[in-house]
Chain A
Amino acid sequence: MTKIELTVDGASVFDDVEPRMLLVQYLREKLGKTGTVIGCDTSNCGACTVHLNGRSVKSCNVLAVQADGAEVTTVEGLAQDGKLHQVQESFRECHGLQCGFCTPGMIMQTIDLLNENPHPTEEEVRLGLEGNLCRCTGYHNIVKSVLHAADQAEGAHA
């Protein structure tokens, strides 16, 4: 067991974990953050995407011990005071989800993408989501959701 100390969705966590435990398992099994899900075992699908120190990572591809000292944000930590994040709103507005299993990862990756490039083209959005698989939407409305979120943010700043 290895001691770790980190911040998850704004709350500090102290724990003892097996070194082999993946960050996604830690979030799900020990913290009950089941909003973050596991979709594959080869880091292709991106369903487990969270932010580690402000950057999107695949939490199935990080050991919990490697997150020691880090700040982790999951899909469950996005809404503030009951108000959804703009990207969450946009996914609902544009029907960017169907079964919803890939959605937490898509949303977390979208937020990262827009942080880096607030005004992406459609092509940039599509490339920016290359690490996230969806089987329901054909991506059409996911892309629309991301572009909508970018527009809304622009509108908010204007």
Chain B
Amino acid sequence: MTTTQERPAEQADREIGKDRRRKEDQRLITGRTRWTDNITLPGMLHLAMVRSPHAHAHVTSISTDAAKASRNVVTVLTGADLAETQGVLINAWAITTDQVTPTHLPVAIDRVAFAGEVVAVVVARSAAEARDAAELVDVEYDLLPAALDLKEAAAATPENGGALAHPDLGTNKSALWIFDSATAGTGGDVDAAIEKARGDGIVIEREYRQQRLIPAFMEPRSTVVDPTGEQITMWSATQIPHILRFALAATTGVPESKIRVIAPDVGGGFGGKLQTTPEEWIVFAVARRLGKPVKFTETRSESLMTGHHGRDQWQKLTLSAEKDGSVTGLKVELLADLGSHVSLVGGGVPVLGAFMFNSIYKFPAYQFNCQTVLTNKTWTDAYRGAGRPEATYAIERLMDELAVEVGVDPFVIREQNWITHEEFPFTTVAGLEYDSGNYEAATAKAKEVFGYDELRAEQKQRRASGDQVQLGIGISTFTEMCGLAPSRVLGSLNYGAGGWEHASVRMLATGKVEVVTGASAHGQGHETAFSQIVADRLGVPFEDVEVLHGDTQIAHKGLDTYGSRSLVVGGEALVLAVDKVIERAKPLAAHLLEASVDDMEFSQGRFSVKGTDQGLGIAEVAMAAFAAHNYPEGTEPGIDAEATYDPVNFNYPHGTHLCAMEVDTETGAVKMRKYVCCDDIGNIINPMIVEGQVHGGLVQGIAQALWEEAVYDDAGTLVSGSFVDYLLPTAADTISFEVEHTTSPALTNTLGTKGVGEAGTIASTPAVVNAVVDAIRHFGINDIQMPCTPERVWKAIHAKDGAGDKPTEGAAMPHFSESEPGTDSTEGAAQ
């Protein structure tokens, strides 16, 4: 059972829970920043990439003579030139043992598999001159049929003549990953449940599209490699300096100890910089070859075209329920587009969603299967939420459809099926153990702040009067698994690494504290939040804590930042390290105070002898350790400590999001009117930072619902390849949000915290689409494909009168408040 607490009142003497202003900000607001592209080194050379304009082709010849003769060009290198040294790009997560994984070379040698793939590299004394010369590289291609459409690619075989992304592999199918609750012993047989419901219950079948998205971090990726000296140093705009170093060493033959990777200030990632990129490998290879520092910074158009994309799935869903709306089974069949290669964890992204389709609901039977598919498009990988937004979208859309079918308010159907707070800890049909949560509490608070009943009344009134602007209300009661991840679980999923995190605490002689974390921030505010944790636990001033990260030579051990893991895994490692410092300091303090270790107490940064007023501050102990003039026999003169934490479980934040959308039925334009969320992310270290994470997440999720889509043309060119066509929202397209919290502390970590980095993105997309569909359901609409463009909405509304498209599948369904349950659109319940 979970108890929900109100957020504890701020205590003046406690750092945790305070809205501390960020330590990071001073440099960022004054422009004293350390972006990778700011780095200039003596004699530094610049690269320009020559990229294939074709989605799929043989490279028949490359002529570099003219480019080599161009002004200030040092050399021009092709894949063949670099073949010995460039290494390969790895896939760290083969989701099945028989996964088909094409070889991924940084510079293509004889065949290109997506438009944007590098075929040659120009090295010049300036970036402009490199670009000038790149134009002179003459590449001849022999075009091959390109596999572009996901469904067609999945069906293509050598026999039927369908285009193959890699003809030598003989298939576009990479891996089929299946979870079945009957086999796993976590639930019943889903096919039996569906079959039964076809007879006496409700079966809802839908197909949803998760369109392809682009992470579109604001800082374009940049890499500088300096081979001067004994070690090769790489600065890169990456989320994963440690994984990057490992992969460079593993694939280039350079010993890991000879490589130092630094992620300086990194301008956003959202999963998009959770990658080992061809460009990083190329810069590394060129710098080694020439013995000079080399830089490459991508343009925005290169970034959109060649940085990995996200989502891109077709979801076929079958939900069965009893007539009263009690769910009995859920079957999920996915096609996931990998793009041209199986990137670092690309194949695993849908698997991260495999355990989440059942979400907060008590499904007795569940089956998930996912076919990953290779195509001749940019490769896909993690994008904020990675697998979980797709799952949450599907289930939250389906629960609305079920509510319509049964004829009840969508909240009723959710309450009827969700895990109640008394039932925690709860083992789900997907085999996860949810440690804590209180869906009732979060929902009640969200509803109250939202003014749910009033808005429903307004909706009814607008509908009755046939108002040109219709109102819709969207609900999303999400949960997710984050805090990646227990290493053993990752191992069982065949992931190539663990999920632990490392931290160390260095007590400086002057009383300052250096905290080193293996997490690698790029906007999350680790320097601030981690300082708050250390300040509280070690009893030192917040200002005296310095958080160091993002440099493999300083933070020698770490697994970086993604999957909402930094606080719940990295923070926990930090807690362990701090506790070790205290334990190490205790004997020294006792020695200095001439007291027994057993009599020592530590509180608010001070060791004291029980029952006396004798004591020593931790800074004094640190100084004593530094001086080392007087310390106990048999101990080391030092109180620094480090710790590695491997989480015992995932971490399950949840929340209720409510969204009101207005739909202009004359134009199809949709406008957000109100958005309220109440998230339960356990205990909060810094509420200000948490709210910022939620706001940003919300807008990314809303943007999937309404605006963003990576679109390819028939030739395989990304036509939404600039910010002109890839529509990021601006301040004028968004609204201010109401962000609330309830608190069910996580039971699996000391701080009781849960991840928040992805929550907003995961929850908001279905809330928005549910609201849009809710606004126009009375027109016979039960789905609008994302992004919900005005044209799609308008065409759906006007489908009946012949002005638009065909009606959406099952579109005859009436709104729940206005009619009897059951229509012929859905099998089972119709009598």
In their complex, do chains A and B touch, with some C-beta pair under 8 Å?
yes
Instruction: List A residues 93-111 near B (Cβ within 8 Å).
Output: 93, 95, 97-104, 107
Verify if B698 is at the interface (C-beta below 8 Å from A): yes
Task: Please state if B22 and A99 are interface contacts (CB–CB under 8 Å).
Answer: no
User: Which of A33, A35, A93, A142 has the largest number of chain B CB atoms within 10 A?
Assistant: A35
- Chain A residues whose C-beta falls within 8 Å of the C-beta of B300 in the assembled complex: 39-42, 45
- Chain B residues whose C-beta falls within 8 Å of the C-beta of A33 in the assembled complex: 31
Task: Please state if A35 and B692 are interface contacts (CB–CB under 8 Å).
Answer: no
Instruction: List A residues 8-32 near B (Cβ within 8 Å).
Output: 18, 20, 28-29
Q: Chain B residue with minimal CB distance to A85?
A: B29
Q: Chain A residue with minimal CB distance to B216?
A: A135
- Chain A residues whose C-beta falls within 8 Å of the C-beta of B692 in the assembled complex: 95, 98, 136-137, 140-141
Stretch from B147-155, B282-290, B723-731 at the A interface: B723-731
Tell me the bound Cα distance from A39 to B30 in angstroms.
18
Tell me the bound Cα distance from A20 to B218 in angstroms.
25
User: Which of A98, A101, A126 has the largest number of chain B CB atoms within 10 A?
Assistant: A98
Verify if A36 is at the interface (C-beta below 8 Å from B): yes
Task: Please state if A36 and B219 are interface contacts (CB–CB under 8 Å).
Answer: no
Stretch from A51-59, A62-70, A72-80, A150-158 at the B interface: A72-80
Verify if B629 is at the interface (C-beta below 8 Å from A): no
Mark B671-704 against chain A: 1 for CB-CB distance below 8 A, else 0. Answer: 0000000000000000011011101111110000
Tell me the bound Cα distance from A29 to B295 in angstroms.
13
Task: Please state if B698 and A138 are interface contacts (CB–CB under 8 Å).
Answer: yes
Stretch from B6-14, B266-274, B643-651 at the A interface: B266-274
Q: Chain A residue with minimal CB distance to B734?
A: A139
Tell me the bound Cα distance from A40 to B217 in angstroms.
11
Task: Please state if A88 and B30 are interface contacts (CB–CB under 8 Å).
Answer: yes
Verify if B524 is at the interface (C-beta below 8 Å from A): yes
With contacts A98-B524, A133-B723, A135-B728 taken as known, whether A103 is within 8 angstroms of B28 at the C-beta atoms is: yes
Instruction: List A residues 121-152 near B (Cβ within 8 Å).
Output: 122, 125-127, 129-144
- Chain B residues whose C-beta falls within 8 Å of the C-beta of A133 in the assembled complex: 218, 723, 728, 730
- Chain B residues whose C-beta falls within 8 Å of the C-beta of A34 in the assembled complex: 31, 33, 35, 37-38
Task: Please state if B35 and A101 are interface contacts (CB–CB under 8 Å).
Answer: yes
Give A137 Cβ to nearest chain B Cβ, in Å: 5
Give B204 Cβ to nearest chain A Cβ, in Å: 32
Task: Please state if B730 and A129 are interface contacts (CB–CB under 8 Å).
Answer: yes
Provide the main secondary structure of the chain A interface.
Answer: loop
Verify if A92 is at the interface (C-beta below 8 Å from B): yes
Q: Which one of B27, B30, B266 lies within 8 Å of A99 (CB-CB)?
A: B266
Task: Please state if B696 and A130 are interface contacts (CB–CB under 8 Å).
Answer: no
- Chain A residues whose C-beta falls within 8 Å of the C-beta of B38 in the assembled complex: 28, 34
User: Interface range on chain B: under 10, 10 to 19, 20 to 34, or 35 or more?
Assistant: 35 or more
Give A112 Cβ to nearest chain B Cβ, in Å: 14
Q: Chain B residue with minimal CB distance to A98?
A: B523
Give A129 Cβ to nearest chain B Cβ, in Å: 4
Verify if B128 is at the interface (C-beta below 8 Å from A): yes
- Chain A residues whose C-beta falls within 8 Å of the C-beta of B691 in the assembled complex: 95, 141
Q: Chain B residue with minimal CB distance to A145?
A: B29
User: Which of B24, B730, B737 has the largest number of chain A CB atoms within 10 A?
Assistant: B730
Task: Please state if B268 and A99 are interface contacts (CB–CB under 8 Å).
Answer: yes
- Chain A residues whose C-beta falls within 8 Å of the C-beta of B32 in the assembled complex: 35, 76
Give A50 Cβ to nearest chain B Cβ, in Å: 10
Q: Chain A residue with minimal CB distance to B525?
A: A98
- Chain B residues whose C-beta falls within 8 Å of the C-beta of A2 in the assembled complex: none
Tell me the bound Cα distance from A136 to B695 in angstroms.
8
Task: Please state if B267 and A101 are interface contacts (CB–CB under 8 Å).
Answer: yes
Q: Which one of A75, A95, A101 lies within 8 Å of B218 (CB-CB)?
A: A101
Tell me the bound Cα distance from A37 to B35 in angstroms.
9
Tell me the bound Cα distance from A98 to B268 in angstroms.
8
Verify if B464 is at the interface (C-beta below 8 Å from A): no
Give B129 Cβ to nearest chain A Cβ, in Å: 11
User: Which of B21, B29, B299 has the largest number of chain A CB atoms within 10 A?
Assistant: B29
- Chain A residues whose C-beta falls within 8 Å of the C-beta of B522 in the assembled complex: 99
Task: Please state if A75 and B268 are interface contacts (CB–CB under 8 Å).
Answer: no
Q: Which one of B30, B270, B736 lies within 8 Å of A35 (CB-CB)?
A: B30
With contacts A74-B31, A139-B734 taken as known, whether A92 is within 8 angstroms of B723 at the C-beta atoms is: no
- Chain B residues whose C-beta falls within 8 Å of the C-beta of A127 in the assembled complex: 731-732
Give A36 Cβ to nearest chain B Cβ, in Å: 7
Task: Please state if A84 and B29 are interface contacts (CB–CB under 8 Å).
Answer: yes
Give A6 Cβ to nearest chain B Cβ, in Å: 18
Task: Please state if A139 and B30 are interface contacts (CB–CB under 8 Å).
Answer: no
Tell me the bound Cα distance from A92 to B216 in angstroms.
24
Verify if B817 is at the interface (C-beta below 8 Å from A): no
Tell me the bound Cα distance from A130 to B728 in angstroms.
11
Task: Please state if B731 and A38 are interface contacts (CB–CB under 8 Å).
Answer: no
Mark B543-560 against chain A: 1 for CB-CB distance below 8 A, else 0. Answer: 000000000000000000
- Chain A residues whose C-beta falls within 8 Å of the C-beta of B219 in the assembled complex: 37, 39, 99, 101
Give A17 Cβ to nearest chain B Cβ, in Å: 12
Verify if B25 is at the interface (C-beta below 8 Å from A): yes
Q: Chain B residue with minimal CB distance to A94?
A: B688
Q: Chain B residue with minimal CB distance to A37?
A: B35
Verify if B265 is at the interface (C-beta below 8 Å from A): yes
Q: Which one of B29, B270, B688 lies within 8 Å of A91 (CB-CB)?
A: B29
Verify if A44 is at the interface (C-beta below 8 Å from B): yes
Tell me the bound Cα distance from A126 to B126 in angstroms.
39
Task: Please state if A44 and B266 are interface contacts (CB–CB under 8 Å).
Answer: no
With contacts A39-B220, A101-B267, A127-B732 taken as known, whether A135 is within 8 angstroms of B28 at the C-beta atoms is: no
Tell me the bound Cα distance from A142 to B696 in angstroms.
11
Task: Please state if A126 and B699 are interface contacts (CB–CB under 8 Å).
Answer: no
- Chain B residues whose C-beta falls within 8 Å of the C-beta of A38 in the assembled complex: 37, 220
Verify if B186 is at the interface (C-beta below 8 Å from A): no
With contacts A44-B723, A136-B523 taken as known, whether A100 is within 8 angstroms of B24 at the C-beta atoms is: yes
- Chain A residues whose C-beta falls within 8 Å of the C-beta of B217 in the assembled complex: 99, 101, 135
Verify if B3 is at the interface (C-beta below 8 Å from A): no
With contacts A40-B300, A138-B696, A140-B695 taken as known, whether A126 is within 8 angstroms of B523 at the C-beta atoms is: no
Verify if B722 is at the interface (C-beta below 8 Å from A): yes
Tell me the bound Cα distance from A97 to B25 in angstroms.
8
Verify if B26 is at the interface (C-beta below 8 Å from A): yes
Task: Please state if A135 and B698 are interface contacts (CB–CB under 8 Å).
Answer: no
Tell me the bound Cα distance from A28 to B734 in angstroms.
32
Verify if B301 is at the interface (C-beta below 8 Å from A): yes
Task: Please state if A139 and B26 are interface contacts (CB–CB under 8 Å).
Answer: no
Task: Please state if A139 and B730 are interface contacts (CB–CB under 8 Å).
Answer: yes
Give B309 Cβ to nearest chain A Cβ, in Å: 15
Q: Chain A residue with minimal CB distance to B21?
A: A92
- Chain B residues whose C-beta falls within 8 Å of the C-beta of A132 in the assembled complex: 730-731
Task: Please state if B724 and A138 are interface contacts (CB–CB under 8 Å).
Answer: no
Task: Please state if B267 and A100 are interface contacts (CB–CB under 8 Å).
Answer: yes
- Can you list 16 A-B contacts with CB-CB less than 8 angstroms, sorted by A residue number? A28-B38, A45-B723, A97-B29, A98-B524, A101-B219, A126-B731, A126-B734, A130-B730, A131-B730, A135-B728, A136-B523, A138-B696, A138-B698, A139-B699, A139-B731, A140-B695
A interface list, Cβ under 8 A from B: 18, 20, 28-29, 33-42, 44-45, 47, 74-76, 78-79, 84, 88, 91-93, 95, 97-104, 107, 122, 125-127, 129-144
5 nearest CB pairs, A to B: A35-B31, A99-B523, A101-B267, A100-B28, A138-B699
Known: A38-B37, A138-B696, A141-B691. 13 other contacts (CB 8 A): A36-B31, A42-B301, A42-B722, A79-B30, A88-B30, A92-B21, A99-B217, A99-B218, A132-B731, A133-B728, A136-B218, A139-B734, A141-B695
